[in-house]
Amino acid sequence: MAKRRVVLKLSGEAFADAELGYGIDPITVDRTAAEIAAVQAEGYEIAIVVGGGNIFRGLSAAAKDMDRANADYMGMLATVINALALRDALERAGAECRVQTAIVIQEVAEPYIRLRAIRHLEKGRIVIFAAGTGNPFFTTDTTAALRAAEIGADAVLKATKVDGIYTADPSLHPEAELLEELDYMHAISEQLGVMDTTAVTMCMENDLPIRVFNMTTPGNVAMAVRGESIGTLVDAGR
């Protein structure tokens, strides 16, 4: 029996070259993959949703007068590039891995099929979900919430570059405090930047806890997958 099944949401920006701010940094990808492979070997079932912001951000392009739907489709393709890079790193780290895409690109990945994804997880493979939901106007945060609900995950783990959710933006307000736990409605009403409203609402409706943590600290990914207390937990509350 698997210990638990989780969906790990990785932002595209986390893959970016630290100096350039874009592209794919092989060192970061390899470090992340090694940590995921190591904790998955302990018996955890791990599915991953990757963003594409290090290559192309649909919302940013739309703000510059590009058609929003077209920009979002371009962003989906960017997530496929990141997914393939991560799959390669995971396989080199010794983990079996499959990429499933919401947009059919049969030469490089499987199409997303829910039951097949679950079967891969049961067989001890990591599954990477790419191309978002396959629809424009939906974020990869929403994709993570949707896929987690579909595959019966125990939690959504959002890996970020900060330690968790603060009472305010810590870069602008040094006095901001890190919140250890908050409920879904608080996260939505206060607009604390956990995830977009659609994603949080979907997690709330499906009783999916969200763990927000800093992935740049070595060991944090493993701790989050194991369910240890790290970062900020968003759930139904006490």
Q: Per DSSP, which regions of the chain are E strands?
A: 5-10, 45-50, 97-101, 110-111, 126-130, 155-160, 165-166, 178-179, 181-183, 210-214, 232-235
Average pLDDT of the chain, as a whole number: 91
Q: Give the number of C-alpha atoms closer than 13 A to the C-alpha of residue 109, restricted to the C-beta side.
A: 29
Query: Which CATH number goes with the domain that contains 199?
Result: 3.40.1160.10
pLDDT-derived band at 63, boundaries 50, 70, 90: low
Provide the domain count of the chain: 1
For 156-168, b where at least 16 C-beta lie within 10 A, e where not — what string? bbbbbebbbbbee
Neighbours of 206 (CB within 10 A): 15
Q: What are the pLDDT digits (tens) for 72-108?
A: 999 999 999 999 999 999 999 999 999 999 999 999 9
Given this model, what pLDDT does residue 61 score?
Answer: 56
pLDDT for 169 equals 81
Please write the tens of the pLDDT for every residue from 114-128. Answer: 999 999 999 999 999
Q: Can you tell me the mean pLDDT for 175-187?
A: 91
pTM: 0.93
Average pLDDT of the segment spanning 139-155: 97
Percent of the chain with pLDDT over 70: 95
Domain span at residue 78 reads 5-235
> Cα(145)–Cα(208) distance, rounded to whole angstroms?
8
pLDDT at 58: 63
